[in-house]
Chains A and B, each alone.
Chain A
Amino acid sequence: MNRIVSGIVWVTLYLVIIMVPLFLMLIPPVPTGRSFLLEFSVALGFVGLTQIAVQFILISRFKAFSAPYGIDIILHFHRQIALVAIGLILLHPILIIVDTPSRIKLLNPLGGNWASKSAWISTFCLVGLAVTSLFRKELRLNYEWWRLIHIILGVGAVVFAQIHVTMAGLYTNTLWKHAVWAVPAVFLVALILFMRVLRPALFPGNTWKVAEVRPEEGDCVTLVLEPDGHAGMSFLPGQFAWITLGERRFTMQENPFSMMSSANRPQRLEFGIKEVGDFTGSLRDVAPGTRARIDGPHGAFSIDRYPAVGYVFIAGGIGITPMLSFLNTMADRRDPRPIALFYADKSLDAMPYQEELEKLGDQLDLELTLVPENPPEDWEGESGMIDWDMLERHVPKELIQRELFICGPPPMISALHGTLKEMGVHEEHIHLELFDLV
């Protein structure tokens, strides 16, 4: 019930924030009203711009704001609502041309006027944002470059849209109406530059030291961090943090990783990392003693938020890391609750932390099922893809009573999610970690 109420409050607040600047434009003096289509187009443009600006608050990582929901879900929401905003903004010029075809000459990027040119630049930035985010992998863009491009294009989109409003807007006809748009735009651009560039440089917070870098099976690395003169970081099992390595004060090389160690040990954080990008690929060479900074903990994917009589964990590949954090924490707490863990990947060799899982099996009521997609010839266990029959073979009938946690590549997550829902598992009991934030 509480969540429904808070949901309604958030929807209302969001709508108010988006709509107030638009309806302020109705305070006199106002231009004479024009056709419905034209005014609708103007409204969509304004609403789109405010939403793009609000994204800067969504991604600012203010904990008070993100903690109740988990920042991963806020980022997920950011991606979805930003696409809606871009859609509305693209409708803006289309509807204008439909209403007054002669205005099509404003769409010539080399012609038109400065108002239409800045609109072009802003739209270019927005489309660039959407394309680089939706097709990052296809474009072979690594996380670090993507982040830099994302911030530059995001700031560009808002700045040029603001110039467009100031120059072209019939509605911004008094100083205070100009200010209604310009002041929040300047403030939000300043906010994001502060949060992403200045704050980490000026207020680095607690520093950490690399204690160990341990190579693992399947091109994975365990990164161990220990506090440098402070009490460490308490977190919930399954949470993650953004990590920066090295001495440089200004850097965009900040990556999100899940803790895999026990929440009972805030002074020794272990992260399981798959070597894929530029940053993760060079981890093996990081020397012990290297300085590190942590922005965290973040995320709501945690057994502590969902008490249950037992759990089902399903991990694909490096998605095993939050599960390890669950298990390590439960072992430290001598937690007697039953757990079924399904761990899938391409092949047995590609699956790190198998030894560690077996050790945990001795301390916990854990039924571990390894599911290699391509099993070795003498393999007698499960193989292929995880499906409902496989779950039923290993989880007692009271499946419904348990909470399910799934972490892995997006195709696996959505396939499993679909299967579980089809088989009547209630949405409330299914918890997903979309590991790819982008």
Chain B
Amino acid sequence: MRHYLSYVLLGFLAFFLIALSGVFAWVRSAQLMITTEPLVMEHRSTSPEFRTQGFEWREIGPTSYHGNCRNCHGDDGSGWDQYPGLADAGRLYMAEGGREYIIDLHLYGLTSDRWRAPMPAMNTMPDVELAAVINHILVEFSREDAPEDGDLLHPGDIKERRDRDLSPADVNTTRPTIE
């Protein structure tokens, strides 16, 4: 009797554990909770007013970096273990084709022989947030060639690069050469 009940219990538990994990995954993937910053919610709007009034990436960038990038690239963007530092971000971005390369590696991921850990695609982030966090990295962590305000990204730039058929290895072939 006791053994029989133990199997019933086991079935119940296994079912609920998997179902609740599914609920967690759905909540996350449906973006029911994005980040704390109500700002991100507000700034998700890509309305024309928002575009013309200037893009306040400084409000979202640091928070988003903290939540999505810091774990691998480090608090100050210096990297560790198999995760690259971000000091060359500005040089890559300002090189020819670099702007597209930087956006694409966030949207489609990146894999190469340079590092043993691949960059995962971050395409579930909204345009606004992605543009903000890339700008934050370019301005704060670039050792040289940090882009000026006029060269920085707008949400529309991200939107334009979406929905292409690129693999992480494809993105690597478009990497600009820097010395």
Q: Which A residues are closer than 8 A to B by beta carbons?
A: 3, 7, 10-11, 14-15, 18-19, 22-23, 26, 28-40, 42-44, 47, 51, 69-70, 73, 76-77, 80-81, 84, 88, 100, 102-103, 105-106, 108, 111-116, 168-170, 173, 300, 427-432, 434
Contacts and interface: CB of A to CB of B under 8 A. Distances in A.
A11 B36 contact: no
B34 interface: yes
Interface of B: 1-7, 9-10, 12-14, 16-18, 20-22, 24-36, 63-64, 66-68, 70-71, 81-83, 109-111, 116-118, 120-122, 124-126, 129, 167-169
A84 B2 contact: no
- Closest A-B pairs by Cβ, 5 of them: A28-B36, A40-B25, A43-B21, A113-B82, A39-B25
Contacts, number: 170
Nearest to B119: A102
Given A11-B12, A29-B63, A431 B1 contact: yes
A112 B117 CA distance: 6
A303 B28 CA distance: 52
Contacts of A431: 1-2
B125 A32 contact: yes
A300 B129 CA distance: 59
A38 B81 CA distance: 23
Main secondary structure of the interface of A (DSSP, over half): helix
A345 to B, nearest CB: 23
Contacts of B25: 36-37, 39-40, 42-43
25 contacts: A7-B5, A11-B12, A15-B16, A19-B20, A23-B24, A28-B33, A28-B35, A30-B36, A31-B67, A32-B64, A32-B124, A32-B129, A33-B28, A43-B24, A44-B18, A70-B2, A77-B6, A84-B14, A88-B18, A88-B21, A100-B120, A102-B120, A102-B168, A102-B169, A105-B118
Given A7-B9, A33-B34, A100-B120, A44 B21 contact: yes
Given A28-B33, A28-B35, A32-B34, A300 B2 contact: yes
A81 B13 contact: yes
Nearest to B29: A36
